[in-house]
Amino acid sequence: MNDVVIRTAIPADLEPLADLCFALWPESPRAEHRQELIAILLGQNPSTLPLIHFVAEAPGGNLIGFLEAGLRSHADCCDVSHPVGYIEGWYVNEPWRRRGAGRLLVQAAEQWARAHGCREMASDSLIENALSENAHLALGYEVVGRSILYRKIL
């Protein structure tokens, strides 16, 4: 995967990054992703904890993937005495999967988390998302729990 460059997203990445976010999270409109990214890419993160976007850039300059990482004060099954790096979102376009871009994105996020004092990196995915589970396992992540979410309309 020597031909893909992993770097921190910049404001000029707004439109293609919004497209990638929409591909991962289609339940939210593309315009909503774009609006959220504007502040983040300009360094005006609305959260109190750091958040960063790494992008995978193919030869020719097209963005083919991204990883959104953040810091959390805690995460399920992690040591509560240290902040935790968290993979908030991770996506690679279908033709580029299983070629190393996802691994490089995760490695960049893990390095960023270490630089912020983290000793652990955590993530989550939907229970039925076998593709995500297999990708995490291939990178050395372990399943530490499973959840079922409940609600009741009042």
pLDDT tens-digit readout, 70-88: 988 767 667 677 788 999 9
What is the per-residue pLDDT across 97-149, written as a single tens digit (0 to 9) for each?
Answer: 999 999 999 999 999 999 999 998 889 888 898 999 999 999 999 999 888 77
**Percent of the chain at pLDDT exceeding 90:** 66
Q: Which residues pair with 63 in a beta bridge?
A: 57
The residue extents of the domains of the chain are 5-124
Mean pLDDT of all residues belonging to the chain? 90
User: Among the CATH numbers 3.40.630.30, 3.40.50.1360, 3.90.950.20, 3.40.50.720, which is that of 5-124?
Assistant: 3.40.630.30
> Do residues 118 and 83 make contact, with C-beta atoms less than 8 angstroms apart?
yes
82: which residues sit within 8 A by CB, 6+ positions away? 117, 118, 119, 120
| Predicted local distance difference test score (pLDDT) of residue 1 | 56
Q: Map tokens 């109190």 to a residue.
A: 48
Cα 97 from chain centroid? 15
| Predicted local distance difference test score (pLDDT) of residue 94 | 93
